[in-house]
Chains A and B, each alone.
Chain A
Amino acid sequence: MIDSIILSYTTFVYFAAFMLYLLAMVMNRELLARLGTYASLIGLTAQTVAIILRWAASYRMGIGHAPFSNLYESLIFFAWTLMLLYMIIEWRTRNRTFGTFVTPLAFLAMAYASFSPNISSHIQPLIPALKSNWLISHVITCFFGYAAFGVSFGLSIMYLLKRLDASEKKNIFLKLIPPRGILDDLNYQMMVIGFLMLTLGIITGSVWAHSAWGSYWSWDPKETWSLITWLIYAAVIHSRMVRGWKGKKIAILSMVGFFCVLFTYFGVNYLAGLHSYAQ
């Protein structure tokens, strides 16, 4: 399949982007960072094309459906949204150091999807329960949310690193990271977007479950973990809004939240459940 071939090359392009961003920070060369941006753009474009090709291919096979229906496709979509969000942030802030902390997540997701022996990249026909526009909205919103939380996770690491910086230190790597205030604001914005998207994701998922199984909420482990993730971020938003927590505490909580995201995504497969990704 041409699409999975393009996608596996994209994996390397993202890795190259990561290395370029990283080297740019270590060696303090703006040119390398710019090359990193080009690599990211090429990767994102190729990935977009591959996703569309895959979509078209499923229709040619007579089992047409949007390419968001199994673990492979969801990981690809996660990486895609992560890179899209990242490109928007880079463009808005005109700062390329974020790339060092976000591209590796996209690379890892792609690598896991493309090279794990347990994950099939075949286009599979959908069982009737998965044929639903609500399910497509569910996957899109959830993974947008996860990507925003992923960016927030990267920003939190940057924040914690930046704390090590001090005016008398000569560490270029740390100096290049934007000031803490900016990181903190951006981090909160990402969590807010993620929270909104996760809320939409849980709701669309419930609507789908309701039409497919007759129950909008059945406490299956995947559902429950998405609720746990949601509760954690709700707690973070409240602690910041109302108790005025900022900076380090929020960064650490964001990392806890992202751990919950990862568990919702992968860990739950080790618990029993009825989600189709758990194969």
Chain B
Amino acid sequence: MKHSTSKHRHNPFWDFFASVKLAIVLLIILAIVSILGTLIPQQRDAVEFASRLSPFLLQIFISLDLFDMYHSVWFRILLGCIALNLIICSLDRLPATWKRFSARLEPDRTKPFDDLPQEQSSRTDETPQQAGGRIGRLLQSRYRKIREKEVGGDRFFYAEKGGLSHFGVYFVHLSVLLILAGGLLGSFFGFEAYVNILEGEQTDTVMLRKKMRPLKLDFEVRCDRFTVDFYENGAPREYRSDLSFLVNGKEIKRVGVLVNHPVEFMGVTFYQSSYGPAPGKTVDLRISGPGSGTSPIPMKVESGKAVDLPGGEGTFRVIDARGDIMNMGSAVLISIQPANTNETVEFWVFKNEEQALSRLPGPMRQSLKFNPAAFKPYTFFLDGLETQYYTGLQVNRDPGVSVVWIGCFLMVAGLFFTFFTSHRRIWVRVLGIGTGSRIDVAGMANKNPVGLERELDRLMKDMRKTAAGYEDV
């Protein structure tokens, strides 16, 4: 069945896209292109690779979209060709399949019985009428469609099942279309974004991943609480955010989001994807200098707020606070505004000053930027930062997902039908011979001939069981 059989035979476009050869070629092209995509770094990973290319090659790569090929126009055209191929090929074959499925075959056909193997014939003492009644009931219990006929005292039966197996392939192919359509739907009408929210804070703006620009949602999300617990080895065991969703300032829904347990609100789904420490508002400092005597004065200061120096030489502010910088532990950036000049002095103060100094590269060690005593006569010490967690949420909208899942389900169901069922047609004839009768069984299947043979054997055995007086011919 290489050539299309329908009325479209003379349309070369139709012929081209109805061909299974094209399907095989397209599947292999898609495989090769996908291999290329795993060898050439894509998207963000591509930057380093691109910098090593010559300008000429780089131009070619960029104009062919090779750094983001799975989202390129030509890749979509390739998928489109596969879809077209599937649609036209299926339309082209559907009428013939329908015919094979629905063909009304006569019970008294003789062709199936040509070259009948020995075992599929047996003899009984019953009349064709008696034997036929019994066999009819047996078939009735096993097959959905039964037809029978009586010709001159002989009985003929036809039974079939599994006709839908012809359509398994169409389900599979339809499912491929659904999955592609779902993907397309998602890429046109959906978005992928992320947002980090500090415990206790709320936002209505998320960051689009691809375009790296903010997107405003129709509602606000607040992170009421973030919790994380750890295994003994320090790896996180579970983390969760308790979120509230607010519309026009009114709280509508409160819910916990865990890894692997996303929540949806107004068509937007929130996934727990990461977390991290964020320095909080208050910083514990000690300051030694005039007026401190032997032990430095402890102070609790709020980030960003100007505080008078103990001796009144000016003010200072904590302008940055980090839970960890360059693996040297927590640190704050102090900015001092002396009373007598406009020149500010800025320097980092580490919680563990000794360790930080030992890790700093030599030249930086001398720099005032890392000297907690940079503003004479004071020395700053950092006792602690109040740390808070921020929760990292993936925020997506994808109206295509349900279409994709329906496609997946259909694909699995279709594959089961295609691979594990077959359309079996069975003929039984009961011919009167002398005072008894002879029973022949024959069958036909669209695939799995071994399975059919087993079924015929079983049928023969069961027919023998239901009656005494059988003997093999």
Q: State whether the Cβ of A128 lies closer than 8 Å to any Cβ in chain B.
A: yes
- Tell me if A234 and B27 are in contact (CB < 8 A): yes
Tell me how far the C-beta of B43 lies from the nearest C-beta in chain A, rounded to whole angstroms. 9
Q: State whether the Cβ of B419 lies closer than 8 Å to any Cβ in chain A.
A: yes
Q: State whether the Cβ of A227 lies closer than 8 Å to any Cβ in chain B.
A: yes
Interface 0/1 of A176-194, CB less than 8 Å to B: 0000000000000000100
Interface 0/1 of A190-208, CB less than 8 Å to B: 0010011001100100111
- Tell me if B236 and A231 are in contact (CB < 8 A): no
Q: State whether the Cβ of B57 lies closer than 8 Å to any Cβ in chain A.
A: no
Interface 0/1 of A254-275, CB less than 8 Å to B: 0000000000000010011000
Q: State whether the Cβ of A173 lies closer than 8 Å to any Cβ in chain B.
A: no
A127 contacts across to B, CB distance below 8 A:
235-236
A272–B405 Cα distance when bound, in Å, is: 28
Q: Write the chain B residue with the least CB distance to A196.
A: B415
Q: State whether the Cβ of A143 lies closer than 8 Å to any Cβ in chain B.
A: no
Give the residue of B30, B259, B401 whose beta carbon is less than 8 angstroms from that of A128.
B259
- Given A196-B415, A206-B408, A219-B42, the answer on whether A214 and B23 have CB atoms closer than 8 Å is no
- Tell me if A214 and B271 are in contact (CB < 8 A): yes
Give the residue of B24, B42, B396 whose beta carbon is less than 8 angstroms from that of A239.
B24
Query: Which of B33-41, B296-304, B422-430, B456-464 is the interface stretch?
Result: B33-41
A268 contacts across to B, CB distance below 8 A:
38
- Tell me if A217 and B27 are in contact (CB < 8 A): no
Tell me how far the C-beta of B443 lies from the nearest C-beta in chain A, rounded to whole angstroms. 19
- Tell me if A243 and B20 are in contact (CB < 8 A): yes
Give the residue of A196, A210, A213 whose beta carbon is less than 8 angstroms from that of B416.
A196
- Tell me if A212 and B260 are in contact (CB < 8 A): yes
- Tell me if A131 and B23 are in contact (CB < 8 A): no
B39 contacts across to A, CB distance below 8 A:
271
Give the residue of A63, A129, A203, A216 whose beta carbon is less than 8 angstroms from that of B411.
A203
Give the residue of B24, B37, B192, B238 whose beta carbon is less than 8 angstroms from that of A224.
B37
A192 contacts across to B, CB distance below 8 A:
419
- Tell me if B260 and A211 are in contact (CB < 8 A): yes
Give the residue of A63, A216, A242 whose beta carbon is less than 8 angstroms from that of B401.
A216
Interface 0/1 of A226-243, CB less than 8 Å to B: 011001101100110011
B237 contacts across to A, CB distance below 8 A:
125, 128
Interface 0/1 of B9-26, CB less than 8 Å to A: 000000000001101100
A180–B70 Cα distance when bound, in Å, is: 41
Give the residue of A199, A207, A214, A219 whose beta carbon is less than 8 angstroms from that of B37.
A219
Q: State whether the Cβ of B394 lies closer than 8 Å to any Cβ in chain A.
A: yes
- Tell me if A196 and B419 are in contact (CB < 8 A): yes
- Tell me if B259 and A129 are in contact (CB < 8 A): yes
A196–B39 Cα distance when bound, in Å, is: 27
B408 contacts across to A, CB distance below 8 A:
203, 206-207
Interface of A is mostly: helix
Q: State whether the Cβ of A221 lies closer than 8 Å to any Cβ in chain B.
A: yes
B256 contacts across to A, CB distance below 8 A:
none
- Given A235-B24, A243-B21, the answer on whether A214 and B262 have CB atoms closer than 8 Å is yes
A196–B413 Cα distance when bound, in Å, is: 10
Tell me how far the C-beta of B119 lies from the nearest C-beta in chain A, rounded to whole angstroms. 20
A199 contacts across to B, CB distance below 8 A:
411-412, 415
Tell me how far the C-beta of B243 lies from the nearest C-beta in chain A, rounded to whole angstroms. 15
Q: Write the chain A residue with the least CB distance to B261.
A: A211
Give the residue of A203, A212, A239, A272 whose beta carbon is less than 8 angstroms from that of B271.
A212
- Tell me if A228 and B35 are in contact (CB < 8 A): yes
Tell me how far the C-beta of A60 lies from the nearest C-beta in chain B, rounded to whole angstroms. 14
Tell me how far the C-beta of A37 lies from the nearest C-beta in chain B, rounded to whole angstroms. 24
Within 8 A of B (CB), among A106-130: 125, 127-129
Tell me how far the C-beta of A202 lies from the nearest C-beta in chain B, rounded to whole angstroms. 9
Q: State whether the Cβ of B183 lies closer than 8 Å to any Cβ in chain A.
A: yes
B188 contacts across to A, CB distance below 8 A:
none
A214–B394 Cα distance when bound, in Å, is: 7
- Given A199-B411, A203-B408, the answer on whether A238 and B27 have CB atoms closer than 8 Å is yes
Within 8 A of B (CB), among A13-51: none
Tell me how far the C-beta of A194 lies from the nearest C-beta in chain B, rounded to whole angstroms. 11
A212 contacts across to B, CB distance below 8 A:
259-260, 271
- Given A63-B231, A211-B260, the answer on whether A128 and B238 have CB atoms closer than 8 Å is yes
A234 contacts across to B, CB distance below 8 A:
27
A181–B230 Cα distance when bound, in Å, is: 58
B401 contacts across to A, CB distance below 8 A:
210, 216
- Tell me if A214 and B273 are in contact (CB < 8 A): yes
A19–B412 Cα distance when bound, in Å, is: 39
- Tell me if A211 and B404 are in contact (CB < 8 A): no
- Tell me if A213 and B411 are in contact (CB < 8 A): no
B37 contacts across to A, CB distance below 8 A:
219, 224
- Tell me if A225 and B38 are in contact (CB < 8 A): yes
A215 contacts across to B, CB distance below 8 A:
192, 394, 396
Give the residue of B30, B259, B405, B419 whose beta carbon is less than 8 angstroms from that of A131.
B259
A131–B412 Cα distance when bound, in Å, is: 25
Q: State whether the Cβ of A171 lies closer than 8 Å to any Cβ in chain B.
A: no
- Tell me if A200 and B231 are in contact (CB < 8 A): no
Q: Write the chain B residue with the least CB distance to A185.
A: B450
Q: Which of B28, B39, B192, B259 has the most CB of A within 10 A?
A: B259
A272–B39 Cα distance when bound, in Å, is: 10
A242–B4 Cα distance when bound, in Å, is: 13
Q: State whether the Cβ of B79 lies closer than 8 Å to any Cβ in chain A.
A: no
A127–B239 Cα distance when bound, in Å, is: 10
A125–B434 Cα distance when bound, in Å, is: 79
26 contacts between A and B (CB under 8 A): A125-B231, A125-B235, A125-B237, A127-B235, A128-B258, A195-B415, A196-B415, A196-B416, A207-B408, A208-B260, A211-B260, A212-B259, A212-B260, A214-B269, A214-B395, A215-B192, A215-B394, A231-B30, A234-B27, A235-B27, A238-B20, A238-B27, A239-B24, A243-B20, A271-B38, A272-B45
Q: Which residues of B contact A (CB under 8 A)?
A: 20-21, 23-24, 27-28, 30-31, 34-35, 37-39, 41-42, 45, 70, 183, 192, 231, 233, 235-239, 258-262, 269, 271-273, 394-396, 401, 404-405, 408, 411-412, 415-416, 419
Instruction: Known A-B contacts: A128-B236, A128-B237. Give 17 more (CB < 8 A).
Output: A128-B239, A129-B259, A199-B412, A199-B415, A203-B408, A206-B404, A207-B405, A214-B395, A215-B192, A215-B394, A224-B37, A227-B34, A231-B31, A235-B24, A239-B24, A243-B20, A271-B39
Closest 6 CB pairs of A and B: A128-B259, A214-B394, A214-B271, A231-B31, A242-B20, A221-B38
